[in-house]
Structure 1
Amino acid sequence: MTTATVAPGVGALLREWRGRRRISQLELALRADSSARHISFIETGRSRPSQEMVLKLADHLDVPVRERNALLIAAGYAPRFPETALDAPAMGTLRAGMERLLTGYEPYPALVVDGTYTVIAANRGIGLILDGVADHLLRQPMNAMRVTLHPEGIAPRIRNLRQWRGHLLDQMERQLALMRSAPLRALYEEVSAYPLPERGADEGGAVSGGEHAPFALPMMIEHDGRVLSFISTIATFNTPMDVTVSELAIETLLPADPETAAYLQAARPAVTP
């Protein structure tokens, strides 16, 4: 005997998102120019929201684009946002723009990842970071979190690994708290279980003040007998109208001290054809 699984209705899903955002029914109603009574009726299934209301509530709850489609389907409507493959002709302009951005950032490292940190594109500066990484971690599809935290990845070369590992895991936890993603949850469970390497885990001590006090937590990585220091910045696309685009992130590694900047500029010919 089998038991059928009933998908949650739009009301239950909206109530879940409201709980994630820690917003009361009254506050959501005020934001959406509605009433707490109407929000309550939607959440309990006593009222079916219009397509416009579903999208309005999703907007005020900052629901990810992929999940907005799920809300529409649960309410009985067609999904609004397409999910276009990145290699589709329609994405040609976007791909070209990202390639120009990555190339223009050289010799500093930069890459593009999707919602589960699969590397979509990278510039030649990233080769410096990947020096010495095991071949099996570099096979496609390459995953940025896996490459960073795996004991055969760059983890043994990160001088402040405990700090940097904590930062990355906290970042993933924040994402998981704000969105439902089974693949991201599986990745988090995998990389958080990696053992710390025997050497490299804060071998150089925690980051603190010094000759060049950091203005943000840097990743301090050994390379060719020296320690390079990078600050990570992440950019996403504003008001995306496509699921694929909504989950892309461009990560750039900015030199955190003059020595790192000078070394990368001097080594620039090594990362060009």
Structure 2
Amino acid sequence: MTELLEHSDALDDEAVASKWAARFSEAVRAGGGAAELFVEDAWWRDLLAFTGDLHSRQGVAALDAQLVGARSALRGSVQVAAPPDFAAVLPGDDGAVTAFLAFETVDGRGQGLVRLASSDGVWRAVSLFTTPEELRDLPFAAGAARPDGNSVDGRTWHARRAAERDLGDGEPDVLIVGAGHSGLGLAAYLRAMGLRPLLVDQNQRVGDNWRHRYDSLVLHDPVHYDEMPFFPYPQTWPVFAPKEKMGDWLELYASAMELDVWCSTTVDDAERVGDR
């Protein structure tokens, strides 16, 4: 295991985070060494990135087991990274260092968030969150990889969208029950990956799950925590959005992201078929 990082005034927060990320990478490759990386009661929540499942584990012994499981997934080294519109390292006034992480696994690209604290001159993680961002076999058609918009089958955009909504081009790849925040965000990711999701919702319009709530309701979380995939709010968006504004935004989002939603539709029954 590499030497531990000792705290000094000459070391800035990014250096602290980068050194910890390098030590974490070595620990994953070695399949152990949690006591040097985490405080005794630290948490590591992994959403599919290293475990292929949803796991929250606490304590050095449990985290050692998590490192063993992660060994076969990591490719390369974990790095400190700055997502768009965020600093790589978040400033804090409690002596802690919070940093974004980037990494590659056998399945694709991942992102993490770690909170570090210094004890006895050694920086260890109090909490760690890891999650996949993009699958290698199904990269997002976004940014530099966005479609050019030209027709590939001779149909106009309007004709193609009408056929997709009416399933004239075949069955959807994924059925999503509920066209709220989570359902629409999931559908946008799937569509960007080249899949065809269909959402069904019992309400008459997308966004009614917000419009039909009590009159004084506003989102309890600030604007930065509520943005939808690939489509940020305008810079003039309020910090806490009123419910009708949120409902209208979800309806606009479904249209702009070309998501197929069948409203006034309910699911009467569902049955698992095989291990698909």
Q: Please tell me the TM-score bracket, short chain as reference.
A: under 0.3
TM-score with structure 1 setting the length: 0.20
- Comparing both structures, which one devotes a greater share of its residues to helix? 1
TM-score with structure 2 setting the length: 0.20
- Comparing both structures, which one devotes a greater share of its residues to strand? 2
**Larger RCO (alpha carbons 8 Å, 6+ apart):** 1
